[in-house]
Structure 1
Amino acid sequence: MTDRREYLDRLYDEERLARFLERAVGPGGPLTVEYHQAGHSNETLFVGWGDRELVLRRPPAGETADAAHDVLREYRVMSALEDTAVPVPSTVAACEDRAVLGAEFYLMERLAGDVIRDVEPDRFAAPDQRRALSERFVDTLVEIHTLDPETVGLDDLGHPEGYTERQVERWTDQLEWAVEVTDDDRSVPELHTVADWLAANVPTEYDHTLLHGDYSLDNVMFGPGTPPDLVGVFDWEMSTRGDPLTDLGWTLAHWFDPEDPEFDDPLNSRVEASPGYLTRRELLDRYEEQTGRAFSNERFYRTFGVFKTASTCEMMYRRHLEGNADNPNYPLMEEYVPALGERARRIIDGEEPL
């Protein structure tokens, strides 16, 4: 693990950032910067600029896999969604000039509320609040998948034809990028078997909608009151137009039921397995009822959700091995990724049903 200060120095330079803020946001100061470690892909910095509370998003330092950290796509999509029913933070400014911080980045307003990762706020720790929270969560995914991209200027986002086939290829390529380094430490042959199964079973016909690309409970924020009010959806870096069931499969892969097999999971607290939360089946039923869309080929989509997670985590492990990260979870990927490979196999074999 690289030294914390050394790594942060590679993420931002205070003088250059202050000059950018002066130009893009207006006179302010003093500048304060706080590193937020909860994210697992792009880096997140909390920035204070006078009385403004902002969030800066940028790729991690060092070499990254192609297209895996597209913060300017995230900025564009969030800007387009600001006046829709999909709740997003207000964007402030974007910078394409890599000379400023060494990478492209953008700024958005900081929201107030809670992101549920390890534990839920006390105000939600009751069955009726948990159910309401679950319903708001799935209803927001429905809002994303039923929004007409053309109405917000996103009709040229991505290429929906052939999307799912390309996704299998893309995340197989991301895995291959990671194992260029990680195979020297330990190999995960089961993931290559899963990749072959996905390629052989990929659907070729599906709806085309706006996608989030990473929709899970720890990528949304609930406001400070009750009943639960979902005030922001974050991490739009993989947003595009394509197959909505890939989004749904990813979400279900990160939504645990009480009877699911236990394994050491450093990235998921399984809080949604607590009494009161919708089960996966209830969440799916609500989605299907509101969209009129059936979750066909469910083993493919859930397996792909786990495989995509595994590929992402193997990229994290490569960055850890190369010293291009400062996140205590990254070393844990040594054992977590093989466990994900086993979970993907269980779904394929019908041992972990919906």
Structure 2
Amino acid sequence: MTRGYSYDPHVVPGVTDESDEYFDRLVDEAALESYLRANLGDADDFEVRRHQAGHSNETLFVTWGGEELVLRRPPPGETAEKAHDVLREYSVVDALQSTDVPLPRTVLACDDHDVVGSDFYLMERLDGTVVRGGDGDPLSEPAARKRVGEELVDTLAAIHTVDVDDVGLTEFGHPEGFSQRQVKRWSEQLTWAFSKTSDEREVPAIYDVMEWLQENAPEEHPHTLVHGDYKLDNVMYDLADEPELIGVFDWEMSTLGDPLTDLGWMLSFWRDAGDPDPVSGEFFDPFLENDGYPTRRELVDRYEAATGIEYTNDRFYRALAVYKLCGLGEMFFARHLAGDADDPLYPKMREAVPALADRAQRIIDGEEPL
């Protein structure tokens, strides 16, 4: 298996013009070259390119001699407290290198802001495909579609069955009361974002969702390592033969906590035939309704068999997932209004976040069942 991190350039756009103003805010190329030379040795070739597929932390592709690397750093400008913690992301990916979880190989981590203006880390690049819709279903065979879903949920089960003592992550989080803290944390993130966006428009529906989640957060739940952002477009597949999941990315929100928050998050993006139209095409891929992809119920059954963990309180976990997506979307919108991003998705959050709040309420009301 090839180790590292990358994206298939045929699936998503790769880079932007390195001369633009936003790129200059992301990296000081001379300072980065000096850092790499000091830590990795001399190299004849050095190039930095920005990858545009993600919507949270920034991803840069770095060529250093014969090595192809990925640099992960936070976005420039003001962000919500505890968001975009790339060194936390590095620490868990580094700790899990010897496990069955497929991961990029870590290279370096740096907290010296004189290099690129923020914390960052480097890992090797991997050659594979991120399964996104784009122009349609990237898979034509029902058997391959079925395997993509099975690999996705099997890898989530592998994450949730990691022995955290063995990998040195015993103190990585505080699982007691995790789901209740999730509601509190994302309510705080939304409050922070609304302080930047409320002059543009309000989202009144979110407050009923907030109250319901506060009243229905489970007091007891399993305790495992959780990824925090586990979904189809945060993993990579080798599609050369039978689909094989070869990399899990975007660990910035990982911790010890309630594994059902991960499962609910994954399920909130998964679509079944007959589902209502997605509220935002940027977040939800209709191709998952095609013949062959497992249903949400089938994914849950496979997860329960692999982990021994029962998926209870579905309405809470999927409503929480959409609530968190509201929080992310509103933070994106805040960054757009502040001029701290050039992502074309961000201005769309003006309409998308209110629509997502309505969807969370529909899940609570039982109108979008598992």
| Candidates 160, 166, 171, aligned match of 1:145 | 160
Which residues in structure 2 correspond to 1:36-185 (within 5 Å)?
A: 36-119=51-134, 124-185=139-200
State the Cα deviation string for residues 70-94 of structure 1 (Å, max 9, x = none): 1001101111111110000001000
Describe the SS at the equivalent of 1:218. helix
Cα distance in 2 between the residues matched to 1:276 and 1:214: 24
Q: Do residues 278 (structure 1) and 294 (structure 2) align?
A: yes
- Does residue 293 (structure 1) correspond to residue 309 (structure 2)? The answer is yes
Give the conservation status (yes or no) of the 8 Å contact 1:266–1:336.
no
Where do residues 176-255 of structure 1 align in structure 2 (5 Å cutoff)? 176-255=191-270
Larger % of helix: which?
Answer: 1
Distance (Å, rounded) in 1 between the aligned partners of 2:217 and 2:281: 27
Task: Report the AA paired with residue 222 of structure 2.
Answer: D
Whether the 8 Å contact between 1:4 and 1:326 is mirrored in structure 2 is no
Deviation (angstroms), 1:311: 0.3
Deviation at 1:30, TM superposition (A): 2.3
Alignment of 1:3-14 (within 5 A): 5-14=20-29
Q: Counterpart of 1:326? A: 342
SS class of match (2:358): helix
CA distance in 2, matches of 1:292, 1:120: 38
Q: Distance in 1 between matches of 2:44 and 2:133?
A: 34
Tell me by how many angstroms 1:192 deviates.
Answer: 1.8
Q: Find the aligned partners of 1:315 and 1:4 in 2 and give their Cα distance.
A: 26
Aligned residue number for residue 259 of structure 1? 274
Q: Say which SS state the counterpart of residue 124 (structure 1) adopts.
A: coil
Q: Which amino acid aligns with 2:233?
A: D
Deviation at 1:27, TM superposition (A): 1.2
Q: Distance in 2 between matches of 1:300 and 1:46?
A: 38
* Structure-to-structure mapping, 1:8-27, within 5 angstroms: 8-27=23-42
Aligned-partner residue type, residue 20 of structure 1: Y
1:120 positional shift: 8.7
Q: Is the 8 A contact 1:114 1:121 kept in 2?
A: no
Q: Residue 82 of structure 1 contacts residue 88 of structure 1 at CA under 8 Å; is this kept in 2? A: yes
Task: Output one character per residue of 1:159-215: Cα deviation in whole Å (capped at 9) or x when no partner.
Answer: 111111111100000001111111111111111221111001100101100000000
The unaligned stretches of length 5 or more in structure 1 are none
**Closer, same or farther: CA 65–131 of 1 in aligned 2, 3 Å:** same
Instruction: Check conservation: 2:180, 2:219, Cα contact below 8 A.
Output: yes
Question: Paired residues, what number?
Answer: 352
Equivalents in 2 of 1:119, 1:341: separation in Å? Answer: 25
Pair 1:248–1:123, CA change in 2 (3 A): closer
Residue aligned with 1:45, SS:
strand
Alpha-carbon distance in 2 for matches of 1:54, 1:296: 40
Contact 2:131 2:138 in 1 (8 A): no
Q: TM-score, normalised by structure 2?
A: 0.92
- In structure 2, do the counterparts of structure 1 residues 109 and 120 end up closer, same or farther at CA, with 3 Å as the change threshold? farther
Say whether 1:307 aligns with 2:319: no
Calculate the aligned-residue CA RMSD, in Å. Answer: 1.5
**Amino acid across the alignment from 1:27:** D
Matched residues in 1 for 2:158 and 2:282: separation? 30
Greater shift in the superposed pair: 344-353 or 185-194? 185-194
* Aligned counterpart, 2:365: 349
Which residue is equivalent to 2:5?
none
Deviation per CA, 1:261-281: give whole Å up to 9, x if none. 113432222332221000111
- Are the equivalent residues in 2 in contact too, given 1:36–1:46 (CA < 8 A)? yes
Closer, same or farther: CA 120–91 of 1 in aligned 2, 3 Å: farther
Q: Could you tell me the percent identity over the aligned residues?
A: 55
> Which region of structure 1 is more displaced relative to structure 2, 24-33 or 169-178?
24-33
Partner of 1:35, secondary structure, is strand
Equivalent-residue separation in structure 2 for 1:21 and 1:112 (angstroms): 22
Partner SS, residue 41 of structure 1: coil
SS of alignment partner, residue 152 of structure 1: coil
